[in-house]
Chain A
Amino acid sequence: MKNDVPPTAILPDSFTRWFVERGWSPRPHQLELLDKAQAGKSVLLIAPTGAGKTLAGFLPSLTDLAMRPKRKPGEAYRGIHTLYISPLKALAVDIERNLGKPVEGIGLDVNIETRTGDTPTHKRQRQKLDPPDILLTTPEQLALLLSSKDSERFFSGLRYVVLDELHSLVTSKRGHLLALGLARLHRFLPDLQTIGLSATVADPDALRRWLVPQRPPGAMADLITVQGGAKPVITILESEERVPWAGHTAQYAISEIYDAVKRHRTTLLFVNTRSQAERLFGELWRINEDTLPIALHHGSLDVGQRRRVESAMEANALRAVVATSTLDLGIDWGDVDLVIHVGAPKGASRLAQRIGRSNHRMDEPSRGILVPANRFEVLECRAAIEANYVGAQDTPPLMAGSLDVLAQHVMGMACAEPFDEAELLDEVRMSEPYAKLDADTFGKVVQFVATGGYSLRSYERYARIRQTKEGKWRVSHPRYAQQYRLNVGTIIEAPMLNVRLTRQRGKGANAFGGPVLGKVEEYFLETLSPGDTFLFSGRMLRFEGIRENECYVTNAAGEDARVPSYAGGKFPLSTYLAAEVRGMLADPERWHVLPDQVAGWLELQREKSMLPRPGDLLIETFPRGKRFYMVAYPFEGRLAHQTLGMLLTRRLERGGARPLGFVATDYSLAVWAHGDIGKLHRNGKLPFSELFDEDMLGDDLEAWLAESWMLKRSFRNCAVIAGLIEKRHPGQEKTGRQVTVSADLIYDVLRTHEPDHILLRATRADAGAGLLDVSRLADMLSRIKGRIVHKALDRISPLAVPVMMEIGKERVKGEADDILLSEAEDELIREAMGEE
């Protein structure tokens, strides 16, 4: 902050009085932001939680609104003055509540309203006729507003756009949609100012560019950075119990976690997945002798239930909440004085964000306790703490704008008004993610929107948008605009079914009645048989059956979960933390900060096998039972390891090692085979340098990708976003076989007949960056070139134990369908032979 420049910000008297009455004064960064905004600048404010970010972001709007002349009776509406956009619906609601206080206190005549997917239709219609001064909304709603015919008039009074939690918005496809919407607003209103509010990120300049039109390319918003207040106090739970080798539940520490909850007013317990949340919640209640009010909060729970937890939280009626990332973002509820993170945080920035939820005042230190679930996580937690102290940031880099989102936007713009292709390209390039978009690709996207963009041009007569005589593209039929409106957005959830609790056990899908507990992914439910038990919504449930889009369950309290978990969002270990863990592993000097049992474990590894130097890749081989094992330790996260595992098994198959399977964790990878992989390396038949050569990312990757279920899922999402296939709407009955064509079938046909199609390009871009972590794998393979260290052992090493314990626990993913089918078929043969 430039303190030598006296703030010249103009704060109306009513504001000053309001601050003074409360014994407060505006913080320097709030005034600095106001000053820059009043000078016509767009600004990025980077500040830790508790720095008064929200008020800072709205101060320019509120002062401007306070100084505007009163609206005369009969005067036409003035339109929206400020647009506030946040990634979470709940955040918009929360802000409405928080902003109400100063607005009322200062005595401002300002209307504030929210508009989200939950807003009733009549209210949305009314908002279009009589818009509020400040509209709090989401990226999807902005896209919808911009696709209506009168959008230019509707936004004509707009002065400011406030973008909250910008660091979280920009890294997703929602961010791409929002960037495109922003570009349209900038075209309408060249003087429009943006204010971005963000937590600390690795690359602030990327966000600064994001906020302003990229004209000239590289233009940036002004930056205000508020340094973190008091350093958070983070400790690792020093357990009396034995820290397990593997696993994700941290069950060993449950009574110590409970004790910590008892010693604090309100504790937030963060976990990484929903299944972990369910399990932790269950375990806590099992030992909750004082019946402390402990609640559960995750995205699959029924909305009503979540809202109840949120208001209990706000009223300080809870002692603890077990939560997933739904509570990650800047929602400010209640008086949290402790954050416990169960399981490793997977990223230093994520840890900082989550720990920042406690003591929401900048001058008091946040208190956090990390509870590693296994020994590798102890290393990871340690690395994360050190990173947090040095202020390291590992937020992911921004990706180039995705083409499926662009296709959706192009359709939306055609719905608003006929567009000229070159003009729209110019506009789209104003947005940071699409600044480098080439005209050829854009042309292909427009063609895709029009007729599907196939080289077999047989759909000309069915075009959804057509060129007018003047050469502008317009929607060819109103029903396509309607279709667009129903499908807008970029969040494609796996098909979900309602979970309904009935009391009619054993009736299968013929049961009825009972409350809805929440939603579960269809793919999880389809692996269940009636009678299977699983944890959900903090209860043990028994699966009864599925009817239409509902899954019927009964209470199964007291029974054990037969089905351990279902997949939730899993974050991969960040590259930064991975490097830190490798460094710590290699340096015995640093082990003194680790608990004795973990340091002892590493010591044992050094003795029995070896510890790799930071840049090296350690590969151990050993026999066990009738099989031969190879364990590698790249520390590149589960996704990259899974991809690596698939590719290695292909090569081992060709090399004659007869591989049988593999399993991946965040830290290591184990492959087992009939043949001795170590011997193949030693006798030069398949040296590791060849096995791990970068060229596996060529043909092998292509061949495997073609069949990959992950790529198919990715294609489905791209196809829905781009408008090729329609979203499945809640409440819509499960569709009959004639009504839809499955995305997998379309993928197969398109891949064979038009491999360069724009949607396949979008799919591959997604897979390369996120799903398969191919780019990270590529970096790793080049990093370890010539640095592979092989250790041939006669038995399993201490470091190999965690990954070996995952064998058999892991659900098989990516294994060929035919293998599974043939195993199932064998059961029929055994049955026929009377072997059962």
Chain B
Amino acid sequence: MNAEPEKSQFAGEIVIAGELAVCDARGALYFPDLGLLTVSDLHLEKGSAFARRGQLLPPYDTAATLQKLAGVIASYTPRTVISLGDSFHDGGGANRMPQPFRDSLLELMLGCEWLWVAGNHDPDAPADLPGTTVDELAIGGLRFRHEPLPGASAGEIAGHLHPGAVVVHRGRAVRRRCFATDGDRLIMPAFGAYTGMLNVLDKAYKGLFRWETFVAHMLGDSRVFAISRRLLRGS
């Protein structure tokens, strides 16, 4: 991406558990009052994880994900970055990462506090990388963890589920990643270039949201679109 659009045209502002947050169409969440940027499910080195099993996907997903991350960091210049788990697709991911990519990641990490939240794909700290690895994290009224806890949980920012939403309009279905939130809890879209999505109407989300106030902030090409529960489709 060469010309980065202005943040305002890229993002939608929401309030989550009383805290102002900006949903960026590239899939990152920024808390301006905290100077905190969070991204989830980077799944770095997913391509090479597939290649090990014989499916030779283009080995550029890590580059694409890091490039997008660099763009987001440049837009917000956060003090703190939280990578909300599944930062690497598997335990060996950090080791497999080619040197040029490792270098660009290290460069991104300079100048801000970096927190790795443990995920199910990467329960241990990434090998030979700076930053602090934590299981979960509380900042003000917010709770950052990889997997959402069952039942209502005010202030929880989680990932893991890769939320996506489907809207059917004028005979065509549009399927996009989204921030899923009811105002109390927010589940982050997956950020990685090769990450898929799971429809927010899937049974995996059961009990996580109050549907009356639920909004899917779908990631468009130019900005985020707030779509109410009523317009969403399953499958």
Contact = CB atoms under 8 A, between A and B. Distances in A.
A754 B47 CA distance: 15
A529 interface: yes
A559 interface: no
Contacts of A821: 167, 169, 174, 176, 218, 220, 225, 227
Contacts of B234: 545-546
B54 A818 contact: no
Interface string B207-232: 00000000100101111011110110
A479 B225 contact: no
Contacts of A748: 64, 193
Contacts of B55: 724-726
B235 A820 contact: no
B171 A458 contact: no
B58 A824 contact: no
Given A462-B54, A752-B60, A818-B220, A742 B196 contact: yes
A824 B169 contact: yes
Nearest to B25: A818
A821 B222 CA distance: 11
Nearest to B43: A738
Contacts of B10: none
Nearest to A822: B225
Given A741-B46, A749-B64, A820-B167, A754 B58 contact: yes
Interface string A817-836: 11011111101100100000
A818 B10 CA distance: 12
Interface centre among A459, A726, A822 (most CB of B within 10 A): A459
Interface in A444-483: 451-452, 454, 456, 458-459, 462, 464, 477, 479-480, 483
Interface stretch (A107-115, A158-166, A520-528): A520-528
B56 A451 contact: yes
Interface stretch (A93-101, A364-372, A808-816): A808-816
A745 interface: yes
Contacts of A189: none
Interface in B132-163: 162
Given A749-B64, A811-B170, A818-B220, A459 B48 contact: yes
A746 interface: yes
A749 B227 contact: no
Nearest to B218: A821
B9 to A, nearest CB: 12
B131 interface: no
A251 to B, nearest CB: 21
Interface string A510-546: 0000000000001101110100000000000000011
A459 B225 contact: no
A551 to B, nearest CB: 9
A269 B198 CA distance: 44
A506 to B, nearest CB: 16
A824 B167 CA distance: 8
A462 B52 contact: yes
Interface string B167-184: 111111110100000000
A627 interface: no
B61 A749 contact: yes
Contact of A452 (B56, B167, B215, B222): B56
Contacts of A815: 172
Contacts of A742: 196
Interface of B: 46-48, 50-52, 54-61, 63-64, 98, 162, 166-174, 176, 193-198, 215, 218, 220-223, 225-228, 230-231, 233-235
By Cβ-Cβ distance, the 3 closest A-B pairs, closest first, are A452-B56, A811-B171, A737-B196
Interface of A: 451-452, 454, 456, 458-459, 462, 464, 477, 479-480, 483, 522-523, 525-527, 529, 545-546, 724-726, 736-738, 740-742, 745-746, 748-750, 752-754, 757, 811-813, 815-818, 820-825, 827-828, 831
14 contacts: A462-B54, A526-B235, A527-B172, A741-B196, A742-B196, A745-B193, A749-B58, A750-B60, A754-B58, A811-B172, A812-B170, A815-B172, A820-B174, A827-B231
